[in-house]
């Protein structure tokens, strides 16, 4: 219980620090007011509208009051509209988050589905042919930049073989599963392959160590079959590095794989944020940053709980 409270306190501190910094940051932007007016289209609005707009953003209030309003707006979900197009910011963010979350989940799943069996097999015969082969391939994936992979796979699958659309559209899974698959396949693969490479190498080296443990010999001496030794005995205590890396990537991927989203024209959170920065959509960027911080903090919290599940010794150490 103390452990949970401590984690909760940590969460509160991080959220406070992030919101405060983000709120202050607006004041640090030179000519923020002018930029906002310009983004709105300076000729298109009169003086009265201009004042109304700037008042609605609380830009003229003292810093602390600004922060109070910002937090208030965040909590009440009163996020306002985008400067360009008057789209509700909440809609823009939830649309972007929808795409980025799906990409993140698909990418992670595919990466783990490739990495775990490959790592187990490579570790089982470490130094063997498959081990050397998979290590080389994974190194290749890790060192290939996203945009190169996206371009090559895009060329092959969309231009030459015409298997997938070159421009992905966000089609809901439940409305049209097949189209959904076609639209998300390539972005997912481009996202997943480098991850799979990294995950495989992490898990493989941890597994090789675990397989040399005494308790593995015990399991062998009991007559436990090889697959059961690998998956039943060795895998779980070897998952720490993998879980840590995967958790870090949750945050990073929700924040958006800008390159992949751009390459396949998916309007995910990452792409929206980058475009928002260029378009002086400060409000959108501020709120996105806060959401990302929340995602990071919550993921870390969940991972800490997962550690306890992976290794009961952690539970004792932290809860006791």
Partner 1 sequence: MSTLQTAVRRETGTLLEIEDLATHFATPGGVVRAVDGVTFSLDHGQRLGIVGESGCGKTILSRSIMGLLPRRNVIRKGSVLFEGTELTTMSLKDRQKIWGAEMAMIFQDPMTSLNPVMKIGKQLAEPLRIHLGSTRENAQEIVLKLLQDVGIPEPEKRLEQYAHELSGGMRQRIMIAMALACGPSVLFADEPTTALDVTVQAQILDLIEDQCREREMALVLVTHDLGVVAGHTDQIIVMYAGKIVEIAPTATLFSKMKMPYTEALFQSIPKLADPSHTRLTTIGGRPPNLVAPPDGCSFSPRCPYATDTCTKVEPELQQAEPGHLFACHYPVGSDRWNEVQVSLGRRSGGH
Helical H segments across 57-176, by residue range: 63-75, 89-124, 129-143, 146-154
The residue written with tokens 């002018």 in the block is: 34
Q: Number of residues in contact with partner 1, rule: CB under 8 A?
A: 22
Residue 51's nearest CA partner among 60, 43, 39 is: 60
95 or 311: whose CB is closer to partner 1?
Answer: 311
Among 18-26, 172-180, 211-219, 269-277, the segment contacting partner 1 (CB under 8 A): 211-219
Among 91-99, 173-181, 277-285, 304-312, the segment contacting partner 1 (CB under 8 A): 304-312
Among 2-10, 39-47, 58-66, 210-218, the segment contacting partner 1 (CB under 8 A): 210-218
- Structure token digits, residue 245: 């890396």
**Site for partner 1, residues 103 to 132, rule: CB under 8 A:** 127
Which DSSP symbol is given to 127?
T
Which DSSP symbol is given to 162?
-
**DSSP secondary structure of 251-310:** HHHHT--HHHHHHTT---HHHHHHHHHHTT-HHHHHHHHHHHHHHHHHHHHHHHHHHHHH
Phi-psi bin for 104: left (phi > 0), alpha (psi -120 to 50), beta? alpha
What minimum distance in Å lies between the beta carbon of 313 and partner 1?
5
**Dihedrals phi, psi of 88, to nearest 5 degrees:** -60, 135
Residues 69-108: x/- map of binding to partner 1 (CB under 8 A)? ----------------------------------------
- Structure token digits, residue 289: 């940053």
Residue 54's nearest CA partner among 20, 18, 74, 80 is: 80
What minimum distance in Å lies between the beta carbon of 33 and partner 1?
58
Residue from 6, 52, 132, 313 in contact with partner 1 (CB under 8 A): 313
| 77 within 8 A of 90, measured Cβ to Cβ | yes
180 or 233: whose CB is closer to partner 1?
Answer: 233
Q: Distance between CA atoms of 288 and 93, rounded to whole angstroms?
A: 7
Any contact of residue 311 with partner 1 (CB under 8 A)?
yes
24 or 314: whose CB is closer to partner 1?
Answer: 314
What minimum distance in Å lies between the beta carbon of 161 and partner 1?
42
**Site for partner 1, residues 212 to 241, rule: CB under 8 A:** 213-215, 217-226, 233, 236-237
Among 70-78, 208-216, 254-262, 270-278, the segment contacting partner 1 (CB under 8 A): 208-216
Contact positions vs partner 1 (CB under 8 A): 127, 213-215, 217-226, 233, 236-237, 310-313, 316
């Amino acid at each position: 219980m103390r452990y949970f409270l401590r984690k909760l306190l940590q969460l509160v501190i991080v959220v406070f620090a992030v919101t405060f910094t983000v709120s202050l940051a607006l004041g640090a932007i030179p000519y923020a007011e002018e930029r906002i007016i310009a983004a709105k289209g300076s000729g298109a609005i009169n003086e009265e509208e201009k004042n109304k707009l700037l008042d609605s953003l609380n830009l003229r209030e003292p810093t602390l009051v600004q922060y109070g309003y910002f937090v208030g707006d965040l909590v009440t979900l009163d996020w306002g509209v985008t400067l360009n197009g008057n789209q509700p910011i909440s809609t823009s963010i939830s649309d972007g988050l929808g795409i980025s979350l799906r990409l993140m989940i698909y990418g992670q799943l595919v990466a783990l589905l490739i990495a775990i069996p490959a790592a187990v097999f490579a570790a089982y015969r470490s130094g063997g042919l498959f081990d050397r082969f998979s290590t080389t391939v994974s190194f290749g994936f890790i060192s290939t930049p996203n945009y190169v992979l996206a371009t090559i796979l895009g060329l092959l699958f969309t231009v030459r073989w015409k298997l997938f659309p070159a421009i992905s559209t966000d089609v809901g899974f439940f409305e049209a599963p097949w189209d959904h698959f076609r639209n998300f396949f390539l972005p997912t693969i481009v996202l997943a392959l480098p991850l799979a490479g990294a995950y495989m190498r992490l898990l493989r080296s941890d597994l090789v160590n675990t397989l040399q443990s005494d308790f593995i010999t015990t399991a062998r001496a009991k007559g436990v079959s090889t697959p059961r030794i690998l998956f039943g005995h060795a895998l779980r205590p070897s998952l720490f590095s993998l879980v840590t890396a995967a958790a870090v990537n949750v945050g990073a991927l929700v924040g958006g794989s800008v390159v992949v989203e751009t390459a396949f024209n998916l309007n995910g959170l990452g792409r929206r944020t980058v475009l928002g920065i260029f378009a002086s959509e400060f409000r959108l960027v501020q709120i996105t940053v806060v959401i990302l911080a929340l995602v990071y903090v919550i993921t870390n919290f969940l991972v800490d709980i997962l550690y306890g599940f992976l290794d009961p010794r952690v539970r004792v150490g932290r809860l006791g």
